[in-house]
Chain A
Amino acid sequence: MEEDYLLIKKYLDGDQASLKMLIDKHTPSIYNFTSRFVGVDQAKDTTQEIFIKVWKNLKNFDVSKAQFKTWIFTIARNTITDYLRKKKSISFSSMGEDNFIEETIKDESDLPDEIFQKLQDKEMLNKVLEEIPALYKEVLMLHYQEDMTFKEIGEVLNKPLNTVKNYHFRAIKKLKEICTKV
């Protein structure tokens, strides 16, 4: 599959098919990300809204400043926040950031076997993802589902690297807590 920046360049040079390819390529990940925050019923419309914003702003996208993937997820995040705000739900930033203290980051990504066993069940994993605060959930999703590095997640969240690592640490901790409770 062609690189994103080549597709963007081709589209800006007048090749409409490149934009279509770009949409085809990123629809599943954007839909998956969106559906976890706005719900499956609303995910289709929100995904559509995100891609319309992407199309409208594609001329302003600077390849030298950001990767397309981080840029599109930033747009997705902002669109979701707007939707949740309109719905008067709680936004990303207000979820899970309570009493935030920089902690010494240790590798907290080790999950005990019993928790792993529980998470093997897809329903269980969905339940855990539903319960986990949005801020932590997005770090988990971007890191484990979209294979983004913490640095890239920092660009999406507009947060420094250490903060993202801290969110990840807390996300894993929360995941363990929820799994232990259930």
Chain B
Amino acid sequence: MNNDLSKLMKQAYNQPETGLSADIWRVIEVKQAEGLKIKSLSYGFIGILSLGGFVLMSVSIVKQLSTSGFFQYFSLAFSDGSLISVYWKEYLLSLSDSLPVASLGVTFFLLFSMLVSIKKSIEQYKNKLLIS
């Protein structure tokens, strides 16, 4: 009886109008394109912001390094090597003290987000090519 009821039920199948799956596919294609556009714009925006921030932070770091005496400590390594070999611990401590750690952290973060957004933009571009 299972088969009989199955047969009957299948006869009562409501068939969709022709072209429904093509319509669905078209809607998905449009949504895919929209999604790619939004993602590309977002990654582009993040990339540009990161690049701007990276440039500004790099300039600021150079200024901070020169005011903190980092360059003077660093040049010591090339001018008086024997003194540094004796007081290398103190030298390294002074050198690290003169580094603007927080600014360097922010700069590396900006550099990282810039690289990620470039990678993602390339991925979006590849996806766009696949869809088209």
Contacts and interface: CB of A to CB of B under 8 A. Distances in A.
A119 B8 contact: yes
B1 A47 contact: no
A144 B9 contact: yes
Interface in A16-57: 16, 19-20, 23-24, 27-28, 31-32, 35-36, 40, 43-44, 47-48, 51-52, 55
Contact of A23 (B12, B25, B131): B25
Contacts of B11: 122, 125
A120 B8 contact: yes
Interface in A52-102: 52, 55
Interface of A: 14, 16, 19-20, 23-24, 27-28, 31-32, 35-36, 40, 43-44, 47-48, 51-52, 55, 109-111, 116, 119-120, 122, 125-126, 129, 140-141, 144-145, 147
B28 A55 contact: yes
Contact of A47 (B9, B13, B20): B20
Contact of B13 (A14, A24, A32, A119): A32
A120 B7 CA distance: 10
B119 to A, nearest CB: 17
Interface in B15-44: 15-17, 20-21, 23-25, 27-28, 31
Contact of A110 (B1, B8, B14, B131): B1
B9 A141 contact: yes
Main SS of the interface on chain A? helix
Interface residues of B, number: 26
Contact of A27 (B4, B12, B13, B16): B16
B130 interface: yes
B24 A111 contact: no
A55 B35 CA distance: 13
B93 interface: no
B16 A47 contact: yes
Contacts of A32: 13-16
Given A19-B28, A48-B27, A27 B20 contact: yes
B1 A109 contact: yes
A45 B92 CA distance: 70
30 contacts: A16-B131, A19-B28, A20-B21, A23-B24, A23-B28, A27-B16, A27-B20, A28-B15, A28-B16, A31-B15, A31-B20, A43-B16, A44-B16, A44-B17, A44-B20, A47-B16, A52-B27, A55-B31, A109-B2, A116-B4, A120-B8, A125-B8, A125-B11, A126-B12, A141-B9, A144-B2, A144-B9, A145-B9, A145-B10, A147-B6
